[in-house]
């Protein structure tokens, strides 16, 4: 029995398959699933705010090397505590000694990238829906390399 790291079988497999530049989206409960088969979708929610968005991000970041994140502009204003938690967690990491790049885009652009990006040639490989009930608790993690 696995006792540490990502315990969810499908999520562990998805993270292990990500390559340089691939995108992994982690969202709140309200974000819609992409409606095509190019992005693998996983729902890890078991109840209201279970698991919390930030907890899923923390566990994933223990196993995934990232070089960049994309966050909706609205997160800073509408859910500032979520944005602060993300800053505290994500930006403690380094990518080959370099700071993680943050890109902020409007929520509608973020949503379009998540829902249609892989249909447009973007590498949106995975989508994880949490039990989070806080608006704009969403992030795109862009996979880096450890060398």
CATH of residue 100's domain is 3.40.1650.10
20 is catalytic: yes
The answer to whether position 45 is within a domain reads yes
The answer to whether position 41 is within a domain reads yes
pTM of the model: 0.95
Structural domain containing residue 64 = 19-143
Q: Nearest-5° angle of CA 76, CA 78, CA 79?
A: 70
The answer to whether position 6 is within a domain reads no
Tell the residue number behind the tokens 């029995």, with chain if given.
Answer: 1
The answer to whether position 14 is within a domain reads no
pLDDT in tens, 36-70: 888 999 999 999 999 999 999 999 999 999 999 99
The answer to whether position 116 is within a domain reads yes
Q: Of 20, 36, 81, 107, which residue is the catalytic one? A: 20
The total number of structural domains that make up the chain:
1
pLDDT in tens, 90-137: 987 777 778 899 999 999 999 999 999 877 778 899 999 999 999 999
Tell me the three state secondary structure of residue 4. coil
Q: Rounded CA gap, 20 and 141, in Å?
A: 11
Predicted pLDDT of residue 118: 75
Convert 106-132 to b/e letters by CB count within 10 Å (16 or more is b).
ebeebbebbbbbbeeebbbbbbbbbbb
């Amino acid at each position: 029995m696995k006792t540490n790291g990502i315990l969810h079988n499908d999520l562990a497999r998805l993270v292990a398959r990500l390559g340089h530049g691939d995108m992994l989206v982690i969202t709140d409960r309200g974000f819609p699933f992409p409606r095509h088969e190019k992005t693998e979708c996983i729902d890890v929610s078991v109840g209201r705010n279970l698991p919390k968005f930030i907890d899923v991000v923390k566990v994933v970041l223990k196993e995934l090397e990232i070089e960049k994140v994309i966050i909706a502009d609205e997160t800073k204003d509408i859910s500032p505590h979520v944005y602060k938690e993300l800053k505290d967690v994500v930006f403690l990491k380094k990518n080959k000694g370099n700071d993680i790049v943050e890109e902020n885009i409007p929520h509608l652009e973020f949503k379009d990238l998540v829902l249609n990006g892989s249909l447009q040639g973007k590498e949106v490989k995975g989508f994880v829906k949490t039990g989070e009930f806080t608006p704009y608790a969403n992030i795109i993690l862009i996979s880096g390399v450890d060398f």
